[in-house]
Amino acid sequence: MSRQTSPDVNGPDVNGPDRNGPDRKGNGVQELDSVVVRFAGDSGDGMQLTGTQFSVVTALEGSDLSTFPDFPAEIRAPVGTTFGVSAFQINFGSVEVSTAGDEPDVLVVMNPAALKVNISNLRKGGLIILDEGAFNAKNLKKAGYITNPLNDDSLSKFDVRRMDITRMTVEAVKQYGLGNKDSLRCKNMWTLGLLMWMFGRKRQPIIDSLTQKFAKVPEVARANVAALNAGHAFGETAEMSSNLRRYQINKYEESPGTYRTVNGNQSLAWGLLGGSRLAGLTLMLGSYPITPASPLLHILSGLKEFGVITFQAEDEIAAICSAIGASFAGGLGMTTSSGPGIALKTEAIGLAITTELPLIIVDIQRAGPSTGLPTKTEQSDLYQAVWGRNGDAPIVVLSVSNSTDGFEVGIEAVRLATKYMTPVMILSDGYIANASEQWKIPDINDYAPFPVKFHQDPEGFQPFLRDPDTLARVWAKPGTPGLMHRIGGIEKDYDSGHISYDAANHQRMTDVRKAKIDNIAGDIPLQDVSQGAPGGRLVVVGWGSTYGAIHQAVKRARKDGQDVAHVHLRHIWPLPRNLEELLTSYDTVIVAEMNVGQLNTLLRSQYLLNTVLMSKVSGQPFKIAEIAEEITRNLGDGK
């Protein structure tokens, strides 16, 4: 893997020649294309806040970026333990960045446990900035270190910068009269100040944000700002003595427009609201808190001025049932959850299918089965989404490919649900749900509205009257005179909509429900090739959050002259109508996914296609290098 992007060096000798020869300016500032920084500390050390703030200023300075918050399920695990370590990784640069980076170039550790958990992933020769003050006997023991790694040679492969952040923070905030605990809470801002000096980021946006955040406790605000400034000043004054160096990341050349950072849950929530507005419907969300989907409930609950109705139900089942009730009443029902919650909703999804009501079901996947790893990512709910119900029960399944894609997918889901009177399931996952990327903010006026027309005419009405083209049934909402009707989970007569136990009728209704969903393949875009061209030696097929890693791996392979393409699916069910032809045009099809082969099974069963599965289920996203290796292995001769 090429490394022209790293901030440093091959070993602890920071003054030695850089392997890939980045430009070195005379003023000690080193210019880089991109860099990966990982902040790691105890759950209570504020690493998520530090990382988020660093992302904001990084974006404001015009870098492309991608982040990866990596935190434990425990809210406050015992202090100093390895299972309480929380980390935030950011990859930013003047070049296109589409993952949070394989290996950090810079690792910031606030205690021994953070070092222990994160050291294995650090690039050889990478820079470690650590709080020496936290490396005491008690913390070392809690982290399970027998000897102090600062005193043996276990870190000899890295460039270790020890500084007593604890002591320097306490000194910096002394004048504000905070207690010891509150003083120590400012350590993260001290560290952030230092990093901002290293990467030449302006402090003012952070100072503004701290002042606003702690408006009610001004002494805390002032202490945090003081810590931030102290960290920054340390960088300036220590520059000469400790060889800490500054780095310059030039601006990423982007197309004109207004930008922001957005994570996958945010973009999806906004897409769902945007879609409901384009459809002219009231968005009603029935939801139950679950990691990592709860932010969708939080975001939509804060949008009451748009008429959004949110209902935190007593459980997952009541949540989806309320959403189906909402759609029956003429609103747009939605429910958001993660794998275990979707399992509970399964019976109700079947009812929405058979009563042919529009419904949006969002599954922010996490590692399973059962409770699994709640805060770790996986793509193992594809079977559940496509096949996981009793009876022949087809629905539309879409997937979100990155942190910004949720907006488009949300709108597309609403369009299909309302046009075809069907539940649509959206698959996202814990990685992109929490990870942020830059987003060129769209204008909702650029999207064509698709207003729903409720049925009004009593003449010849029955609730399962179908549009001959879409096969969608009419949507008649309560409150409309002359259209009173009863629907339910018992099979309906094709012609009258009354309950029917007739054998031939059940065949006919099952067939039409299937045909309706199959026909949607004619109303979705043809599958494109995101890199490369149709036909060739090898294609990597992916779906969901693996987009960034596959994109970068294929880009590198193509740069090296290899005949490799990347196909990334948004439409999981029905599949795009040209997909079979497209995939069979390649000699080798690698299906890369974070499960043991669910899309792989789907593609093989649909197309009798010979594929190579690339699977990973460690709770961590794919690394670019892992996919690059798989490409190389399958190309055999390497070209």
The residues in 477-516 that bind another protein, with binding defined as CB under 8 A, are 477-490, 498-499
Q: 473: which DSSP letter?
A: B
**Which of 275, 288, 375 is closest to 332 using CA atoms?**
275
Return the number of the residue (42 or 64) whose C-beta is nearest another protein. Answer: 64
* Beta-ladder partners of 571: 398
Cis peptide before 369 (omega within 30 of 0): yes
Binding to another protein (CB under 8 A): which residues in 293-332?
303-309, 311, 313-315, 317-331
Return the number of the residue (12 or 307) whose C-beta is nearest another protein. Answer: 307
The end-to-end CA distance of the chain, in Å, is: 16
Minimum CB separation of residue 399 from another protein in Å reads 22
Measure Cα distances from 141 to 116, 148, 166 in Å. Answer: 12, 9, 19
Minimum CB separation of residue 330 from another protein in Å reads 6
Q: 84: which DSSP letter?
A: G
Return the number of the residue (477 or 558) whose C-beta is nearest another protein. Answer: 477
Binding to another protein (CB under 8 A): which residues in 35-54?
none
Neighbours of 267 (CB within 10 A): 26
Hey, what amino acid is at 24? R
Return the number of the residue (19 or 260) whose C-beta is nearest another protein. Answer: 260
Return the number of the residue (27 or 255) whose C-beta is nearest another protein. Answer: 255
Q: What HEC string does 426-465 produce?
A: EEEEHHHHHCEEEEECCCHHHCCCCCCCCCCCCCCCCCCC
Stretch (H or E) spanning 64: strand 64-70
Return the number of the residue (288 or 420) whose C-beta is nearest another protein. Answer: 288
Distance CA(232)–CA(288), nearest Å, equals 43
Instruction: Give the per-residue contact string, 443-462, with another protein (x = CB under 8 A; - = no).
Output: xxx-----------------
Distance CA(72)–CA(445), nearest Å, equals 40
Instruction: Give the per-residue contact string, 377-416, with another protein (x = CB under 8 A; - = no).
Output: ----------------------------------------
Position 351 contacts another protein (CB under 8 A): yes
Return the number of the residue (347 or 467) whose C-beta is nearest another protein. Answer: 347
Binding segment for another protein (CB under 8 A), chosen from 39-47, 67-75, 85-93, 442-450, is 442-450
Cα maximum dimension of the chain = 88
Binding to another protein (CB under 8 A): which residues in 58-77?
59-60, 62
Q: Which of 23, 31, 347, 502 binds another protein (CB under 8 A)?
A: 347
Return the number of the residue (301 or 620) whose C-beta is nearest another protein. Answer: 301
Tokens of 195: 């990093």
Minimum CB separation of residue 368 from another protein in Å reads 24
Binding to another protein (CB under 8 A): which residues in 327-346?
327-331, 333
Binding segment for another protein (CB under 8 A), chosen from 55-63, 230-238, 588-596, 628-636, is 55-63
Minimum CB separation of residue 484 from another protein in Å reads 5
Binding to another protein (CB under 8 A): which residues in 244-283?
254-261, 270, 273-274, 277, 282
Size of the site for another protein (CB under 8 A): 72
Distance CA(416)–CA(430), nearest Å, equals 25
Binding to another protein (CB under 8 A): which residues in 185-244?
205
Q: Which residues contact 585 (CB under 8 A, 6 or more apart)?
A: 534, 535, 536
| Cβ-contact 255, 438 below 8 angstroms | no
Return the number of the residue (125 or 274) whose C-beta is nearest another protein. Answer: 274
* Beta-ladder partners of 398: 426, 571
| Cβ-contact 416, 397 below 8 angstroms | no
Binding to another protein (CB under 8 A): which residues in 151-180?
none
